[in-house]
Amino acid sequence: MIVTPAGARFAIVMPSGLPGLVIACLIGLAVFSFSPEPAHAQGKAGRNAAPRAEFASSDEAFIAARNAVLKPDASRFEQAAAQVDPSHPLRIYIDYWRVRLQLADIRAGSPADAAAAADAEAKAFVALNSGTIMGDLARRDWMLALGRREAWAGYDAIYQGWLLRDEAAPRCYALRARLARGEPAMAEARESIMQTRDLGEACNGLLESLASSGQASAADLWQRLEMAIESGSTSAVRRAALLAVPSLDSRQLEQVLARPASVLDGSASRELTFIGLGLMARTDPSAAADRMASAGAKLRPAERAFCWSQIAAAGMRKLAPESAAWAREARTARPSDETLAWMARAGLRAGDWATVRSSIERMSESARNESTWTYWLGRSIQAQSDSAEAKHQARTLFTSIAGRPEFYSQLASEEIGARPTIPPKAAPVTPAELAAARSNPGFERALRFYELGLRPEGNREWNFQLRGMNDRQLLAAAEYGRQRGLLDRMVNTADRTRTEHDFNMRYPTPFVERLAPNAKAQGLDPAWVYGLIRQESRFIMDARSSVGASGLMQIMPATAQWIAQRMGVKNFSPSQINDLDTNLQFGTYYLKTVYDGLDRSPVLASAGYNAGPGRPRSWRGTLDRPVEGAIFAEIIPFTETRGYVKAVLSNATWYSGLMNGEIPSLKAMLGEIQPGPATAATPAPGG
Torsions phi, psi for 135 (to 5 deg):
-60, -40
Domain final residue, candidates 113, 133, 166: 166
Q: Are residues 496 and 617 in the same domain?
A: no
**∠ CA 669-674-679, rounded to 5°:** 110
Structural domains counted in the chain = 3
**Mean pLDDT per 10-residue section of the chain, whose length is 687 residues:** 33 36 37 38 43 84 95 95 96 97 92 96 97 97 97 96 96 98 96 94 97 97 98 96 96 95 89 97 96 94 98 98 98 97 98 98 97 98 97 98 96 95 97 98 97 94 98 98 97 98 98 96 98 95 74 91 94 90 96 97 97 96 96 98 98 97 96 87 62
pLDDT of residue 681: 52
pLDDT of residue 680: 65
Q: Are residues 61 and 93 in the same domain?
A: yes
Domain final residue, candidates 105, 134, 166: 166
Q: Are residues 544 and 625 in the same domain?
A: yes
Q: Are residues 27 and 148 in the same domain?
A: yes
Q: Are residues 558 and 644 in the same domain?
A: yes
Cα separation, 376 vs 354, in Å, equals 11
In a domain, 480, yes or no: yes
Q: Are residues 135 and 40 in the same domain?
A: yes
Q: Are residues 132 and 51 in the same domain?
A: yes
pLDDT of residue 26: 36
Q: Are residues 158 and 128 in the same domain?
A: yes
Cα separation, 213 vs 501, in Å, equals 52
Q: Are residues 585 and 489 in the same domain?
A: no
Q: Report H helices in 161-300.
A: 168-180, 186-193, 200-213, 218-231, 234-244, 250-258, 270-283, 285-292
pLDDT of residue 549: 77
Domain final residue, candidates 452, 476, 501: 501
Cα separation, 510 vs 489, in Å, equals 14
Q: Are residues 478 and 601 in the same domain?
A: no
Q: Are residues 580 and 665 in the same domain?
A: yes
pLDDT of residue 686: 65
Cα separation, 323 vs 288, in Å, equals 12
In a domain, 245, yes or no: no
**∠ CA 293-295-301, rounded to 5°:** 75
Cα separation, 536 vs 606, in Å, equals 11
Residue 469 sits in a domain whose CATH number is 1.10.1240
Helices (H) and strands (E) in the chain, counts: 38, 2
Residue 595 sits in a domain whose CATH number is 1.10.530.10
Residue 466: which domain range? 431-501
pLDDT of residue 24: 40
Q: Are residues 465 and 538 in the same domain?
A: no
pLDDT of residue 546: 66
pTM equals 0.89
